A and B are shown apart, each in its own frame.
Chain A
């Protein structure tokens, strides 16, 4: 997990600290094409999917995923998300791209 630029005082957290954490993170969802994920350099590489798309609701920006353990989760995606390029049945990879906030209270 990569801390975002707004995460502060992370150096004060020590291994072994008992903490209560509130986490806000940014996820990226990539649609696989023929089981392959297009790379930055334009080359595709085979990747195992994390979930499949159950439902896409562009108006309210809802993306419902079913993970490989059958857990279902509905995500509220950002305005910039390209939901028009997704449809039910698509295999996707879900990656945590940035830790936006981590509130730690020491006990």
Chain B
């Protein structure tokens, strides 16, 4: 991708270019603060990108505003669902069930610098995130439901910088000292969210409209450099239309289903700054076998693919489409 990588490139390039050439080792407090803000936003964004539902696994390509395009690979695994029998909420005509949801994933990108100052340098940033939480789903009708949830997320982000340019060979120690490169950070994130869902059944086809506003507060609790100190707020508002079509044909004793979705996510706060984009779009298609109530924790297994695009990046993913349900 992506904006994140572009951001890294821009930050690093900015920081290093701002140094007066005769005294490269002199980084002013103002310059350092400017760089730290960018890096901290990026760590927050990468943690969310790695551990949250925000973006599925895949291969992404930045066409961003940095001097170099960057490729990023992400992997994701997660699921959600309600469990137990439906209960009545007091005397109200509302049914509810507890809900569990979890997600984990990694983001791995390499930025090969080809600018004159940093030519040949390699910056590799990896982020791992895992989140788990729950809440409840409340049905107001058979079709319309709300699910308030709260999740906690742990994130681990590292940067490794390989200096080959004359400039960075000389300045690598200084850049490391101020927390520009070769850093690591551990973060926690709390994520309250609300899922608003309407399911329309047309014969056996399910059309699901959903809206998911989410707030994320992220803070670092451990880092390799005192200048890496994350504490920020991000918001994401995800809107999705999904169609799930049973095909009425059996394969390997399971019914074939097809479908897909279009999803648009608006980004606000630090995640918008860190990813350098205000929105993400995804269009997804799938062909799967129905395993619901036939294999533990599984709704379907099959093949699927997504195409992603935003204001300055594109991406795609193809692979096993596995829907986990609790």
* Contacting residues, chain B, for A74 (C-beta < 8 A): 293
Whether B293 pairs with A58 at a CB distance below 8 angstroms is no
**Overall SS of chain A's interface:** strand
Total residues of chain A contacting the partner, CB 8 A: 12
CA distance A58 to B204 in the complex (A): 6
* Contacting residues, chain A, for B290 (C-beta < 8 A): 60-61
Q: B203-220, CB under 8 A of A: which get 1 and which 0?
A: 011100000000000000
Total residues of chain B contacting the partner, CB 8 A: 15
Q: B282-295, CB under 8 A of A: which get 1 and which 0?
A: 00000000101110
State which of B86, B201, B293 has its C-beta within 8 Å of the C-beta of A59: B201
Q: Does A86 contact B (CB under 8 A)?
A: no
* Contacting residues, chain A, for B86 (C-beta < 8 A): 55
Most buried by B among A60, A61, A72, A75: A60
Whether B250 pairs with A79 at a CB distance below 8 angstroms is yes
Question: Within B272-309, which residues are at the interface with A (CB < 8 Å)?
Answer: 290, 292-294
* Contacting residues, chain B, for A60 (C-beta < 8 A): 246, 290, 292-293
State which of A54, A72, A76 has its C-beta within 8 Å of the C-beta of B293: A76
Q: Does A99 contact B (CB under 8 A)?
A: no
Whether A79 pairs with B248 at a CB distance below 8 angstroms is yes
Whether A59 pairs with B294 at a CB distance below 8 angstroms is no
B258 to chain A, nearest CB (A): 13
State which of A54, A55, A59 has its C-beta within 8 Å of the C-beta of B204: A59
Q: Does B255 contact A (CB under 8 A)?
A: yes
Question: Within B98-156, which residues are at the interface with A (CB < 8 Å)?
Answer: none
Residues on B lying within 8 angstroms of A by beta carbon are 85-86, 201, 204-206, 244, 246, 248, 250, 255, 290, 292-294
Residues on A lying within 8 angstroms of B by beta carbon are 54-55, 58-62, 72, 74-76, 79
Interface CB pairs A-B, < 8 A, 27 = A54-B85, A55-B86, A58-B201, A58-B204, A59-B201, A59-B204, A59-B205, A59-B206, A59-B244, A59-B246, A60-B246, A60-B290, A60-B292, A60-B293, A61-B255, A61-B290, A62-B292, A62-B293, A72-B85, A74-B293, A75-B293, A76-B292, A76-B293, A76-B294, A79-B248, A79-B250, A79-B255
